[in-house]
Structure 1
Amino acid sequence: MNRKLVIGDIHGGLRALHQIMERAKVTTDDTLVFLGDYVDGWSESPQVIDYLIALAKKVNCIFIRGNHDELLLDWLTGNTKNFDELMWYKHGGEATVLAYKSVPRETKNKHIKFLKELKNYYHDSRNRLFIHAGFTNMNGIHYEYFPKLFYWDRTLWETALSLNPTISKDSILYPRRLTLYDEVYIGHTPVTRIGETVPIQRACVWNVDTGAAFQGPLTIMDVNTKEFWQSEPLNVLYFNEKGRN
């Protein structure tokens, strides 16, 4: 059976990525949709990108762009004119910079190519949207004025999270953004902020960021059956590191 599997934010946690691939028993018949933020946090950001580049040669992979991936691309290409390096360091960038000290230029160039080719979103034939953070235009992704919001926005999840479940979709009070797609899969804002460590659905939005950057697990989920598999908490796998804690 061909599965479509969605993977939450990895943040340099290669050990966790290995675990979920094994626990979900991923095969070459599966399609993998990665929601972005492959880097910044734990110590193996370069190795995560190496792994994903190699994986895409064997398995059908769709790689979405996360905000941390763009930050890494800016740093690798020297595009740091409006770059707050200190802020990036505080949010996981320092571990990435340290990890790249031993990475040869040829490999860095391959990573730059990978980062440049990331997609802003993936909209499948069943009207399911896969996007790192969200979108703000009430008419949907094709009308977004500021594409950076695809990987920086938090208002879509906040809207879904705060929505009164008794409001009918037919009501004029129901947010139009939550009626456009049958399902929206996001990362970016970890569900650990609301005390959860499993994928959470609110309205049509599924949040698959289960806090791997901090003290939560990494998650892979079958979007058809909603079955999911998780790694051990990342602070357990990297017990001698801080991650983004």
Structure 2
Amino acid sequence: MRTLAIGDIHGGLKGLSQLLECAKVTSKDTLVFVGDYVDGWSESAQVIQYLIELSKTNDCIFVKGNHDVWCEDWLRTGQGEPVWLAHGGKETVDSYKTFSEDEKKQHLYFFGDMQLYHIDNQNRLFIHAGFTSIHGVEREYDVRSFYFDRTLWEMALTMDRKIEKDSEIFPNRLKHYSEIYIGHTPTTNFYKDKPMNAMNVWNIDTGAAFAGKLSAIDIETKEIFQSDTLKDLYPDELGRNKA
């Protein structure tokens, strides 16, 4: 029995199915997804349907990302934010063309049931982006930080690894949790194609939306599993490689 944390999928169903096969996932495994299931490759709606079915056989925890917030708003109102449409939203809208209104409602409920963060029984935090409160996620002033903040990761990256957790200069934000698992900021931005660790923070978004792979990590053993590069799985598409 394992717990696997899985990074940002961004509509790459081929990467997701390949990743789960690579990791030899069984119904005994718990899967924690850190958000951004949609926007990028052409199978966003199909990813959501796949995850709904997967949750029937596995203990799955779904954390909500910023792209999921945008997609949820579109499913609810029929109106897409311009910034969303320009950053993968158009491909997501296109992926829903063959889905019925009832199926769209089912997906809307799925988005609505997602968690903004998850804390397990070992005090490990799973969150899409980060948080800003020195008192922890329970006292965050603006919940949008959970799916937009990058300062937590930036802070962890710049810290001297020699600083002990019980030190007075160890940031209070990081002291609250034994480990923190995030997505949102691709490790490929730092020329790394695997999950990165900085202090007690693990970044598992390995750039699947762009030129990277989809990754999972066993949170106990730290064994890493990866799909092929998504642009190789979707050779006729650009994903979010448009800039």
TM-score (norm 2): 0.96
Bigger shift: 192-201 or 101-110? 101-110
Letter in 2 for 1:208: I
In the alignment, does 2:96 pair up with 1:97?
no
In the alignment, does 2:132 pair up with 1:133?
no
1:90 Cα deviation from its structure 2 partner = 2.0
Letter in 2 for 1:123: I
Instruction: Note the residue ranges of structure 2 that are not aligned, 5 or more in a row.
Output: none
The CA distance in 2 between the partners of 1:103 and 1:12, in whole Å, is: 15
What SS is found at the alignment partner of 1:164?
coil
TM-score (norm 1): 0.95
The CA distance in 2 between the partners of 1:203 and 1:122, in whole Å, is: 20
Runs of 4+ in 1 over 4 A off after TM superposition: none
What SS is found at the alignment partner of 1:12?
coil
In the alignment, does 2:13 pair up with 1:3?
no
- Hey, what does 2:71 align to over in structure 1? 72
Between the aligned residues of both structures, percent identity stands at 53
Letter in 2 for 1:206: W
After superposition, residues 161-240 of structure 1 pair within 5 angstroms as 161-240=157-236
The CA distance in 1 between the partners of 2:174 and 2:149, in whole Å, is: 15
Bigger shift: 90-99 or 161-170? 161-170
For residues 97-145 of structure 1, what are the alpha-carbon distances to aligned partners after superposition, in whole Å with 9 as ceiling and x for unaligned?
1111222111100100000000011101111111111111001011111
1:79 Cα deviation from its structure 2 partner = 7.3
The CA distance in 2 between the partners of 1:166 and 1:46, in whole Å, is: 45
The CA distance in 2 between the partners of 1:90 and 1:207, in whole Å, is: 25
- Hey, what does 1:120 align to over in structure 2? 116
What SS is found at the alignment partner of 1:118?
coil
- Hey, what does 1:21 align to over in structure 2? 20
1:228 Cα deviation from its structure 2 partner = 1.2
1:169 Cα deviation from its structure 2 partner = 3.1
Letter in 2 for 1:21: L
Letter in 2 for 1:26: V
What SS is found at the alignment partner of 2:125?
strand
1:5 Cα deviation from its structure 2 partner = 0.6
Instruction: Note the residue ranges of structure 1 that are not aligned, 5 or more in a row.
Output: none
The CA distance in 1 between the partners of 2:181 and 2:124, in whole Å, is: 8
What SS is found at the alignment partner of 1:218?
strand
- Hey, what does 2:45 align to over in structure 1? 46
The CA distance in 2 between the partners of 1:157 and 1:63, in whole Å, is: 21
The CA distance in 1 between the partners of 2:164 and 2:178, in whole Å, is: 15
What SS is found at the alignment partner of 2:213?
coil
The CA distance in 1 between the partners of 2:167 and 2:125, in whole Å, is: 23
1:147 Cα deviation from its structure 2 partner = 1.2
What SS is found at the alignment partner of 2:77?
coil
The CA distance in 1 between the partners of 2:33 and 2:142, in whole Å, is: 22
Letter in 2 for 1:126: Q
Letter in 1 for 2:157: L
In the alignment, does 2:148 pair up with 1:149?
no
Letter in 1 for 2:237: E
What SS is found at the alignment partner of 1:150?
helix
The CA distance in 2 between the partners of 1:129 and 1:170, in whole Å, is: 19
1:49 Cα deviation from its structure 2 partner = 0.3
The alignment of Structure 1 onto Structure 2 pairs a total of residues equal to 241
